[in-house]
Amino acid sequence: MNKRILVIGGGIGGVQAGLDLAQMGIKVTLVEAKPSIGGRMAQLDKTFPTNDCSTCILSPKLYELASHPNVDIFSYSTLDKVDKKENGFQARIRKKARFVNEEKCTACGLCSEKCPVKIPDLFNKEITTTKCISIPYAQAVPAVYKIDKKHCLYFSKGKCGICQKVCTAGAIDYEQKDTIETIDFDAIIVAAGAEEYTPRIRPEYGFGIYDNVVTSIEYERILSASGPTGGHIIRPSDKTAPGSIAFIQCVGSRDISSGNYAYCSSYCCMQATKDAIITREHDQNACSTIFYIDIRAFGKDFDKFVDRAQSEYNVKYIKSRISEIIEKPKTKNLAIKYITPDGRINTKEFELVVLSVGIRIPDQIKELMTELGVKLSEYGFCPCDAFEPGITNVDGIYVCGTLMGPMDIPETVMSASAAASMAARGLLSPEISSEIIKEKPAEIAIEEKYLKIGVVVCHCGVNIGSVVDVPEVVKFAGSFRNVVFADELIYACSRDSIKYIIDKIKEHDLTRFIMASCSPRTHETLFKSALEEAGLNKYLMQMTNIRDQCSWVHQDNHEEATEKAKDLVCMAVGRSRYLQPLHELDSEVNKACLVIGGGIAGMMSALFIADNGFRAFLVEKDTELGGNLLKINYTLEEKNISWLLGKIRERVQEHPLIDVCLNTEIREIKGYVGNFTTNLTSGKEERNIEHGAVIVATGGREHETESYGYRDESYVVTQREFETMLLNKNPMLKYAHTVAMIQCVDSRESDKNYCSRVCCGEMVKNILQLKNDYPDKDVYVLYRDIRTYGMLEPYYTQARKTGALFFRYDIENKPVIQKEENGEFIITVYDEILRRYIKLRAQLIVLSVGIDPLETNDQLARMLKVPLNEDGFFHEAHVKLRPVDFATAGIFVSGLAHGPKYINESVSQAIAAASRALTIITKDKIRSEAHTAVINEVRCTGCGFCVDVCAYNAIEIDKEKNIAAVNTLMCKGCGSCAATCLSGAVDLSGFTNKQLIQEFQELFL
């Protein structure tokens, strides 16, 4: 057992899988073909529906992965060979030559600046050029430059060599060769992703022919502040700002004729909406129009996002697929013909057109999968069974992310965590802790009378040194009282420099250390560990940023930049006088997990915790396990749900590590991450259990509708009931020659403005079953948007092929049902194509009523102190990158409790939640933040303002003393409480009021 797993692909999927595995104590080798990790998410400008900056939310994960001791990243690398071995795999990894020494390169950028050769910039989708020696983007991880050998003058003609001449770190190595490493692995996770395909498959849209037709990913680069246009929205032909922009949806997707693209790429509707909103935020005069077939806004808060786009950002949605785009030669505007809501044909001119292209699996990835022996579907993706997400036909090889099928970021993150949990099976054990124990020298106790401050000012090559007069800053620093050592370094982060720093700390007996250099984001951890090596508490260091916030932004003003650098150093020195040693607290972790809810999500979470060797308590308030899945008979892919459910229940009930508590409710949950105590009641019995993590999997329920006569009419049923009728060959079906189905009942309107996600797929499923059993029956479906996203789209096509007819209705003009004397129903609906009302006769009406949150969510939410969203579902920490976490540490969510979703999505999320819980309970001890809030009990009045502002529930009022008390394990050191307290009774260690005020005073006094 190597306890090492290979992750292929460094996009968000690979990164998440890698992080989860590393945090479980497993070694990870991540191989990425591009020069840096980050994948397509790094190319996005913002992410929907929060409009967060994509790189801002992604880069912390990239840094975390890169700096984790359990992780080795091979970037700009490929797999030469993968062999199956007895207990795993052996892979030959080829690290391609960058011709730049990774250890020496400091990413100062001088080589790129001086390089005379321009090459197409692939990261910016070739909209612009970059240099032959370059880095994909500023925040790239690893931050190492690379030479494009093909275009390099040195390699092709033996000339130039400028980069090597100017590199002050001596990092350019033309002799560098590819290196091969052969490593053994227990398992492989393929997170290779998918990529946007070229819309040249539909030449009528003019891509590649007309200047002002761009793809969605190109538009993301244009919108991006770090992109080729600096975030200014300008169109290619004349570099003007477009006043009218058209987004064309489904370019190549849902398209059988142009190739194997019958599926829906699932995220493009939301991406176009987001881009249209961002465009309007950039430019109040820009008007966007989105041409669509169905708006697939099926996720959490997506419908609200689309509504806002229309009401607040003036985005127009026109239901009309576009046949062709014609360029007006003089203006280079693009004329688009479309069908108006009242059936006329209109032409409108747009200054810019964005084609929402979908994704497909590139050929080289298909080849890789073939080599690995993994079977792909006809569309090139690697779909998995609903109850075994991530599992392929090859033992030990798992997949996650868009390689499985078109999906958005949260689904990718969930499938990645799930794959991690799967791959880890057999490698974890409660006896082995997943913490990294590093050998450190003993910390020297510092006595307060010895205030000996050391200052190092870094040149960062030319980054700082060419703008700021470093020697002058050093001299200035040395003039302060208590500064016994001041020096300069060219690259403080290099190995030699770190050794130098450690030596000097010891030599001068320093008790405080100032590093005037780059952003803490880059090397704070490195300098902190240097202090530790020298025996000094690592929190006795102050980093001050004289690069990003000084030399980089004042490049034209050397004198003032130097003065500013001096001020910054002066502030840092002042503050350091008040720095105190800080220590993280360790707390024992209880290595068990509580799973609340015994539905499929709860059961899968419990199984994966237990399969990995840890104890799980599965608490269910009903008399049996299964939840909503007990009422489902089959899905589009699985024909025998009850049999599968039976097997899972059996496994759960027989598993020695799962404690199944039926008929049990939770009375109280006390404690915090690593140390929860829960009081369970079952009838008259009571019991306390202890555990280190909690997974909320309480599920949801079918909405109870009053609409369309459901309450009174026995021939008006829900899709759930219809499914059972079909299974049991209910005699009512004999009478129903025509079945009418109504979608979006009570959903997507005023007080229930969310999409229940599963209804369109369920409707399609029932149609296929109905038509299979009774081919002669007629089916009419009245819908608002058909949301058969991803791989469900081909099933929708099948449903149409069976002869079911689909009619779109507007929310303002809902269908009206009247009952005739003979019991038949007449449905009046406005047919948008015929432009007249039609009456359909049906004998059975099937309603898609959607999923409601449980009413008990509120009570549980208050018990756990976690939030619910506007619609009553549990509200995760971050809708994109932390879809199973809560802001409160140690508590996770999965399944319908989080929001409506399909069974396979619930299972994926459940296993992901288990994975996340394992990252906690695999540890013996959990370490707190060193920067935590501290309460001055003398001053505290118990008013509770701090409790209100804490996002992490880390602060509480002690009822007896009527004083605030901080849970240091849950405190994240954000400082909100310290800022809020009126009496100054809360302080944040490491950022105390005294330290901060001293820092300011140094500047002004």
Partner 1 sequence: MFTVIKPMRGPKFKNEVARYPGGENIKRCFACGTCTLSCPVSEAESNYSPRRVIHKILLGLKDEVLSSDEIWYCMTCYRCQVRCPQDVKYPEIMRVLRQMALEQGYVKSEFVDAMKEIEKVTQDIRRKILKRFIEKRESITEKDIREIISLSDKIQP
Partner 2 sequence: MIIKKIKTTAKDLLTDGSVSLIIGYGINGPGDVTPVFIKDPDDVEKLVWNDQCYYNLIRYLSDRDFIEQNNGSIGIIIKGCDQKSLKVLLSESQVNRDKIKVIGVTCKGLMDSDGNVLAKCEACDVVYPDKDFCDVIIGEEVKKKEKEKDFSDIDEIDSMDLPDRKKFWDNFFERCLRCYACRNICPLCYCKECIMDQHNPQWVLPSASVVGNRLFHIVRAYHLTGRCVDCGECERVCPIGMPLRKINRKIIKVVKERFDFESGKDQEQKSPLTRYRENDSEDFII
Among 155, 174, 806, 945, binds partner 2 (CB under 8 A): 945
CB of 993 to partner 2, least distance (A): 5
Q: How far is residue 812 from each of residues 139, 355, 838, measured CA to CA in Å?
A: 48, 30, 16
Residue 962 binds which one of partner 1, partner 2, none, with CB within 5 to 8 A depending on kind? partner 2
Q: Which does 948 bind (CB under 5 to 8 A by kind): partner 1, partner 2, none?
A: partner 2
The 3-state secondary structure of 285-333, one letter per residue: CCEEEEEECCCCCCCCCHHHHHHHHHHHCCCEEEECCCCCEEECCCCCC
**Amino acid in position 30:** L
The one among 120, 343, 471, 646 contacting partner 1 by CB under 8 A: 343
- Give min distance, CB of 771 to partner 1, in A: 11
Q: Does 559 interact with partner 1 (rule: CB under 8 A)?
A: no
Shortest spacing between CB 986 and partner 1, in angstroms: 60
Report, in Å, the least distance between residue 874 CB and partner 2.
16
Q: CA-CA distance, 856 to 863, in Å (whole number)?
A: 11
What phi and psi values does residue 8 have, to the nearest 5 degrees? -100, 115
| Near partner 1 by CB under 8 A: residue from 797, 869, 980, 992 | 797
Give which of 189, 262, 185, 169 is closest to 15, Cα–Cα: 189
872 binds partner 2, rule: CB under 8 A: no
Burial class (CB in 10 A: 0-12, 13-18, 19+), 114: middle
Of the candidates 625, 755, 803, 938, which has an alpha carbon nearest to the alpha carbon of residue 304? 755
Rounded CA-CA distance 849/853 in Å is 13
Residues 155-194 close enough to bind partner 1 by CB under 8 A: none
Which DSSP state fits 40?
G
Sole binder of partner 1 in the list 113, 307, 324, 496 (CB under 8 A): 324
Q: For residue 990, what are the CA distances in angstroms to 126, 405, 483, 531, 889?
A: 46, 46, 20, 16, 22
**Residue 560 binds partner 2 (CB under 8 A):** no
Under the binding rule (CB under 8 A), the answer on residue 993 touching partner 2 is yes
Closest CB 884 distance from partner 2, rounded Å: 22
Candidate ranges 189-197, 320-328, 689-697, 727-735; the one touching partner 1 (CB under 8 A): 320-328
Judged by beta carbon, residue 281 or residue 831, the one nearer partner 1 is 831
Choose among 650, 606, 685: nearest CA to 895: 606
Q: Phi/psi at 350 (nearest 5 deg)?
A: -125, 150
Spatial distance between the Cα atoms of 602 and 694, rounded to a whole number of angstroms: 11
Residue range at the interface with partner 2 (CB under 8 A); choices 159-167, 310-318, 325-333, 937-945: 937-945
945 binds, among partner 1, partner 2, none (CB under 5 to 8 A by kind): partner 2
Residues in 953-992 at the binding interface with partner 2, rule: CB under 8 A: 957, 962, 980, 982-985
Strands (DSSP E) found in 809-922: 816-819, 825-831, 836-842, 844-847, 851-853, 891-893
Q: Is 198 in the site for partner 1 (CB under 8 A)?
A: no
User: If binding is defined by CB under 8 A, does position 337 make contact with partner 1?
Assistant: yes
Determine which residue in the list 948, 958, 961, 1003 makes contact with partner 2, applying CB under 8 A: 948
CB of 19 to partner 1, least distance (A): 39
By C-alpha distance, which of 258, 247, 266, 272 is closest to 355?
A: 247
Distance CA 885, CA 877 (A): 6
Do the beta carbons of residue 142 and residue 73 sit within 8 Å? yes
Is 841 among the residues that bind partner 1 (CB under 8 A)? yes
3-class secondary structure, 471: helix
Binding partner 1 by CB under 8 A: which of 839, 862, 925, 994?
839
Q: Which is nearer to partner 1, 728 or 818 (CB)?
A: 818
Name which of partner 1, partner 2, none residue 801 binds, using a CB cut-off of 5 to 8 Å depending on partner kind: partner 1
Q: Is 997 in the site for partner 2 (CB under 8 A)?
A: yes
Choose, by CB under 8 A, the member of 87, 179, 323, 370 that binds partner 1: 323
Contact of residue 238 among partner 2, partner 1, none (CB under 5-8 Å per partner type): none
Told to check if 940 binds partner 2 by CB under 8 A, we report yes
788 or 967: CB nearest partner 1: 788
By the rule CB under 8 A, 870 interacts with partner 2: yes
Q: Are 687 and 587 in contact (CB under 8 A)?
A: no
Nearest in space to 764 (alpha carbons), one of 734, 729, 791, 792: 792
Determine how β-strand 352-357 pairs with β-strand 213-215.
Answer: parallel
Q: How far is the CB of 947 from partner 2 (least distance, A)?
A: 9
User: Which CB sits closer to partner 2, 872 or 942?
Assistant: 942
Q: Report the residue from 195, 255, 283, 586 that binds partner 1 according to the rule CB under 8 A.
A: 255
Bridge partners (DSSP) listed for residue 32:
75
Stretch that binds partner 1, among 131-139, 240-248, 827-835, 893-901 (CB under 8 A): 827-835
By CB under 8 A, is residue 828 in contact with partner 1? yes
The DSSP output letter for 763 is: H
3-state secondary structure 179-243: EEEEEEECEEEECCCCEECCHHHCHHHCECCECCEEEHHHHHHHHCCCCCCCCCCCCCCCCCCCC
CA distance 699 to 625: 12
* Residue 738 beta carbon to partner 1: minimum distance, rounded to whole angstroms: 5
**HSE-CB for 980 with a 13 A CA cutoff:** 16
* CA distance linking residue 111 with residue 257, whole number of Å: 48
Assign residue 671 a region (left: φ > 0; alpha: ψ between -120 and 50; beta: otherwise): left
**Smallest gap from residue 345 Cβ to partner 1 (A):** 6
| Contact partner at residue 337 from partner 2, partner 1, none, CB < 5 to 8 Å by partner kind | partner 1
* Residues 741-780 as x/- pattern, contact with partner 1 by CB under 8 A: -----------------------------------x-x--
- Pick 348 or 939: Cβ nearer partner 2: 939
Rg (CA), the chain: 31
Q: Which residues bind partner 2 (CB under 8 A)?
A: 870, 938-945, 948-949, 957, 962, 980, 982-985, 993-994, 997-998
Binding residues (CB under 8 A) for partner 1: these are 204, 250, 254-258, 293, 320-324, 337-339, 343-345, 737-738, 776, 778, 786, 796-797, 800-803, 805-806, 808, 828, 831, 833-834, 836-841
